Structure formats: C-alpha cells, structure tokens
Chain A
Amino acid sequence: MAIERFPIEAGHVLMFARAIGDPNPIYADADVAAASEVGVIPAPPTFVTASAQFDPDYPLRPKIGEPWFGSGREATGAKPTVPSGGGGGDGDGGGGTSLHAEQHYEYHRPLVVGDVLHARGRKGDTWEKQGRSGTLKFTELVTEYLDQDDEVVITARTVAVLTEGPK
C-alpha cells in the first residue's frame, strides 16, 4: 500500500465530522479554528482512515468499468481478497472472512487542513489464537503518514483478524 498524495481539505473534514456525528464547530468554521490553539481547522483523530479515498488500489471502492462484489441485479459479484487495512482503512473484507480487530494511532503533531500527506505501509506481526469456531489469524499493518516536509505526522497500526465467517 502506498498513497502518494492525500491532501487534507476543509470540505472532506466537514463531511467526515458530520459522518461521525461530531458537531464541534472547529471542524466546520474556519473562524472558530482560527481562534483555537492550532489556528487552522484540525482533522478528527481517525481522519487518516479516509486516505482510502486517495489509494488508487483500495479494494473496498468500486472502480469505474470494473466488476464490484456488492449487489446489483444479483446479490453478488466477485469477492475481493482483502484484508486491506490499507490506508488505515477498515480491514473487513467481503464474505465475513476478515474483520477489523484493533486500530491505534500515534499523533506526532496535529493534522490540519492544508497538510498534504503521503503514506507508506508495512506488514507488522502475525499471530494466531484459538477461537470458538476455529483458528483466528491476526495480521498487523503499520502505516506512516508523512507531510509535505517528509516528517511523520501520524503512525497507524491496524490489526485485522481472519475468521471463518458468520455461518
């Protein structure tokens, strides 16, 4: 996974704050943000998960002209081979095979509107546990989000668990 350009934009932060039900005016009003310590509209703590929008290969987004695994005329198409966890994105894939188990962020400085991030991910540890319905396989992905000066702004750690599905 690599994201070459993830611009932090005011409209995107506004939409994201609405979606998580956060009415804090600092995400919507530049004047409120200007009066705050950071002085600029900040991104909510989990905002970098939306870097998935800027990952050209993100598997959980329909691609123009390509088959999609959700329903249309029929209930399904092809199943993807996630976990992505990708741009910090949710790691749960189709068919109930992979679920997001944990998500951790470390903030090296506040992320704000105007920053332009890029991201690089690497695989972390893998381990197994015995669950009620068989073996659970855990995989870890570590993603560093760097700014326009190549400084790390956020380090994200995603843990996904592969299960045998809900049936």
Chain B
Amino acid sequence: MSVSAASLNVGDTRELELVDDLTRTQIVMYAGASGDYNPLHSDEKFAREVAGYPGIFAHGMLTMGMTGRIVTDWFEVARVTKYGVRFVRQVWPGDTLTATATVDALREEGGVHFADVSIATVNQDGTTFLTGSATARLDP
C-alpha cells in the first residue's frame, strides 16, 4: 500500500534486520543474479593469496540491494524516485546487518508529495557499513 503524506512526520523511523549471519552462499547467489563474478566475492583462494584480503567479502551492491528493502517495504518499490548510498566499509560472511530509515523531510513539488529519508546499515556491533538516502512519492 502506498503511504500518504498526512500519515508521516519528520523524524519517523523504521528499523529492519536485513540478514542474520550472512553466508558465503548468499554472496554467491548475488554474484549469479547480478553478473558480478569478481572472485573477491566468491573465491577464498584468490581473495587471500592474490588480493591479500582475509577472505572473500560481500559485493557493496549486495549490501545496497539488501538495504533497499527498508525503503521498498515502507513506501513500495514503484514509488521510489531516488536511492543512493556510500559504502563505508566491507561486509564479511557472518555479519548480521540492520537498516534504519528516518524521514528527514516531507515536501510538495507541483502538487506531488515526497518523503526524503536518510538510511544507515549497521552490523551486530553497531558499526556503520553503509549510509544513504532515498526519496519516495507519497499519496496526499
């Protein structure tokens, strides 16, 4: 269901657990679906011995994709007009991620209502992995 501007207030916030104990298999699923087969995200041998990382890590775009749910669950995917993020640090297998979205502004442009929200995704220790923002079109 779409959300009405009248039902929202600046400062309204929502929280959503995106993943509990991220698995290597889910990272592989994302590689297959997205087409990004960078071995840094699936190939432990390459990641350790060639690239010098402690192991494989998630695609930034997987974290962005998972985080998008906090916006689409709230406002409906077809109502999202903008979504942007900054990748703060890498996400590793075993991480548990939680996203928070907060309404920063409610505005009207040419008779159309919009909500601007800020977004942050943190892990089980409260460390921030991604920050971002989104805009969604509202009913009046």
Residue numbers of A with Cβ under 8 A of B are 12, 15-16, 18-22, 24, 26, 36-38, 42-46, 49-53, 55, 58, 60-62, 68-71, 75-76, 87, 89-90, 92-96, 99-107, 110, 157, 165-167
User: Which of B30, B53, B64, B73 is in CB contact (< 8 Å) with A103?
Assistant: B64
Q: Are A107 and B51 in contact (CB under 8 A)?
A: no
Chain A residues with CB under 8 Å of B53's CB are 96, 166
User: Which of B34, B38, B72, B87 is in CB contact (< 8 Å) with A24?
Assistant: B72
A51→B39 CA distance, assembly (Å): 19
Contact with A along B23-64 (1 / 0, CB 8 A): 000100110111111111011011001111100000111101
B86 at the interface (CB under 8 A from A): yes
Q: Are A105 and B84 in contact (CB under 8 A)?
A: yes
Number of B residues with CB within 8 Å of any CB on chain A: 48
Q: Name the distance in Å between A68's Cβ and chain B's nearest Cβ.
A: 8
A44-B77, A75-B50 known; A21 vs B19 contact (CB < 8 Å): yes
Ordered by A's residue number, 8 sampled pairs between the chains whose C-beta atoms are within 8 Å are: A19-B32, A20-B30, A20-B66, A44-B77, A53-B34, A76-B50, A96-B53, A105-B82
A38-B78, A105-B84, A110-B78 known; A100 vs B50 contact (CB < 8 Å): no
Q: Are B84 and A44 in contact (CB under 8 A)?
A: no
Q: Are A100 and B60 in contact (CB under 8 A)?
A: yes
- The interface residues of chain A, by DSSP majority, are classed as loop
Q: Are A101 and B69 in contact (CB under 8 A)?
A: no
A45-B83, A102-B84 known; A60 vs B76 contact (CB < 8 Å): no
From residue 101 to 121 of chain B, which have CB atoms closer than 8 A to chain A?
A: none
Q: Name the distance in Å between A138's Cβ and chain B's nearest Cβ.
A: 12
Determine the residue in chain B with the shortest Cβ distance to A75.
Answer: B49
Q: Are A20 and B60 in contact (CB under 8 A)?
A: no
- What are the 6 A-B residue pairs with the smallest beta carbon separation, nearest first? A70-B39, A104-B84, A20-B65, A53-B35, A52-B35, A110-B78
Q: Are A103 and B61 in contact (CB under 8 A)?
A: yes
A75-B46, A90-B36, A103-B61 known; A20 vs B69 contact (CB < 8 Å): yes
A51→B33 CA distance, assembly (Å): 10
User: Which of A19, A38, A53, A167 is in CB contact (< 8 Å) with B30?
Assistant: A19
B71 at the interface (CB under 8 A from A): yes
A12→B33 CA distance, assembly (Å): 7
A92→B36 CA distance, assembly (Å): 10
